[in-house]
Structure 1
């Protein structure tokens, strides 16, 4: 690799690190045929993770970090004093193919600053995916960041070649967006998400290809005063309205020469973690947005216990539940029991009455679940969920998290 291209790669890979939404889950299974490159498994590509949990198995870059917009929270904003670079379409295609051949990556995550116009930028992003698919027979995973202000027909074409399209919501409220990114428009962003969602639904019904791994979005946490409750309610609305695959929560990170209207410090990364846990409850544990919001105190999730445990402690009167009789919905609300463990319990109890040791073999979270469960040979007793020190006994040990 020549030094000029290597320098561009260093700049534009670093510029892309703030985008968390690089998961490939949901990609269709594909195996390369003769004259083709790459493949995906049924559950998406294989992932590698850095110590901070970021996915690095995709070539994750920006097409360029030049940008017409001046969003206060963005390190690549127009007024930012950072090193700039721009790939050509051909350079991104070459890097992707050559990195794949060297077994460095199994897919591409491509975003970009806005250059010339949204349509021009979207056209360049689409050309990359189109060239990989048509000219090189690339069968690996491709995730494109769609530009919300771009023409719908350009987004339509991008969906023919990308596995997943995503549009960053950026901030959870129109007021925050207007304050920190006045050149962006909340209704325009959500309308673009709605259009992509409609195309995905139509394509599935017609059994044709369009962004088969769905769409996702990302929201910045801690750049404004939005509460966790408001964030989760917004996410629930997006899931219900646009059939999103995933909402990603990205803790705000102070940037060089940042605006005075931005916070001076990042929010605790544990807050980001709690939001993901709350999001999981909505997606996989049959919790409503109201249920999850009920786990918050003054709109914020506790940093020392997860939202599911917080909900259970607020509703102690609904526990303990009998693992041999309770319905699946109630078992899903027991702290320490994951969705897979609950399904195993429901299946196993058809054949025998489960004892505490049986439950222990089905879940690794029995210590947290014990005060909330009844088994064939176990009852927590009258002091189980009523213990005043129960919360203290179940508090998670503090962990040091890092961002980059």
Structure 2
């Protein structure tokens, strides 16, 4: 095949993959090619597609579809069968060669591979697994691999995928069951949940102590999913409630939120404009509160409500619960400290460590946190009490005017 043809395929299929947000390599095991053995590494590199780990590390991945041909007609998808988008398809060998070539040129440190549905779910999943198996077994590739699971594929293929991939993801796509039935009629919610369950079973089997030999690693970076935000009328409370359920039922490592992007020739059932990106950002902030800060979803938002776009959800909670503040940084336990606006997990752990050596002052807090102005109404230190500031009726206005730069907390 001519080089230009391959470049054209890469242009089409990398662009088609941009709508999938569930892409990160955090949590994988460490593999490298030190000593001349193997190809690739899960560490380092510069990239084509950038994803970010929870520690802020930038990760570079070749993010492509095996093909954007698809037999499904999901209304929100640019690659649906009724779309007139340009089509392309890689062979298994082409994906393998591209991955190895880009890695050896230090462009990437791993592969994110998804696909439209070709023929049927089993045929498509088998092609994805072949790519990963060839990279691992034939080329001893030790970089990161993330495979998309085709929900209707057989459990045996899902299990095989987990033996070669670092992470698997099964996209639930929409927060409301009825929206999935209306906008993606070929997709089966039961099949999606069944695939998620198969991945969880594989993870648990790999963790169980074996009598004769240790079982092989299975998707060591776990599984993730994606929900599209703003394609239907689901509230932020509904979205987060579904996330809460998914985390509990399938032990997902992460739920990704992707703001709906209008596509050409779409149905009138879809919105004409994408939701504000700050809405997606607030959902990620609320998600972190549930996963790392000890908040229950119901504390953050009711099911029928939307998140406040003007202030982050932790600050919004603190403003609704003024009676819980100010918090004494020299006496409060870790759980209470994590609920203080402006204090992240790292800052809280540093405060607890520093408390063993000295009394916390405002200068200490300023050194440990970038948000001292946001912190001051909510904390007591050895040399600071907020006084009337904590009771000010216009406290909320102090944080929304002028507009704040987007940050996690």
- Which TM-score band applies after superposition, normalised by the shorter structure? over 0.9
What does residue 98 of structure 2 align with?
95
Q: Do the aligned residues in 2 keep the contact of 1:26 with 1:213 (CA within 8 Å)?
A: yes
**Which of 349, 359, 365 is the matching residue for 2:355?**
349
How far residue 49 of structure 1 moved from its aligned partner, in angstroms, is: 8.3
1:245 maps to 2:248: no
What does residue 384 of structure 1 align with?
389
1:204 maps to 2:207: yes
**Which of 235, 240, 245 is the matching residue for 1:232?**
240
- Judged with a 3 Å threshold, the aligned counterparts in structure 2 of structure 1 residues 355 and 47 are, in CA distance, closer, same or farther, namely farther
What does residue 195 of structure 2 align with?
192
User: How far apart, in 1, do the equivalents of 2:394 and 2:52 lie?
Assistant: 33
Q: Deviations over 1:281-326 (max 9, x none)?
A: 00100001111215x9x61011110000000000001000100001
Which 10-residue stretch deviates more, 48-57 or 389-398?
A: 48-57
1:368 maps to 2:374: yes
**Which of 35, 38, 43 is the matching residue for 1:36?**
38
How far residue 384 of structure 1 moved from its aligned partner, in angstroms, is: 2.5
- Aligned residue for 1:385, secondary structure, equals helix
User: How far apart, in 1, do the equivalents of 2:97 and 2:12 lie?
Assistant: 17
- Judged with a 3 Å threshold, the aligned counterparts in structure 2 of structure 1 residues 286 and 189 are, in CA distance, closer, same or farther, namely same
User: How far apart, in 1, do the equivalents of 2:110 and 2:50 lie?
Assistant: 20
- Judged with a 3 Å threshold, the aligned counterparts in structure 2 of structure 1 residues 93 and 213 are, in CA distance, closer, same or farther, namely same
- Judged with a 3 Å threshold, the aligned counterparts in structure 2 of structure 1 residues 291 and 396 are, in CA distance, closer, same or farther, namely farther
1:160 maps to 2:163: yes
Q: Deviations over 1:72-118 (max 9, x none)?
A: 00000010010000000000000001111111111000000001010
1:132 maps to 2:135: yes
User: How far apart, in 2, do the equivalents of 1:397 and 1:262 lie?
Assistant: 34
Q: Deviations over 1:252-302 (max 9, x none)?
A: 0000001111001000000000000000000100001111215x9x61011
* Structure 1 alignment gaps of length 5 or more: none
How far residue 192 of structure 1 moved from its aligned partner, in angstroms, is: 1.1
How far residue 61 of structure 1 moved from its aligned partner, in angstroms, is: 0.3
User: How far apart, in 1, do the equivalents of 2:100 and 2:222 lie?
Assistant: 24
User: How far apart, in 2, do the equivalents of 1:56 and 1:216 lie?
Assistant: 17
The alignment's C-alpha RMSD in Å is 2.0
Q: Do the aligned residues in 1 keep the contact of 2:49 with 2:62 (CA within 8 Å)?
A: no
Q: Do the aligned residues in 1 keep the contact of 2:45 with 2:107 (CA within 8 Å)?
A: no
User: How far apart, in 2, do the equivalents of 1:56 and 1:15 lie?
Assistant: 20
Q: Deviations over 1:112-135 (max 9, x none)?
A: 000101000000000000000111
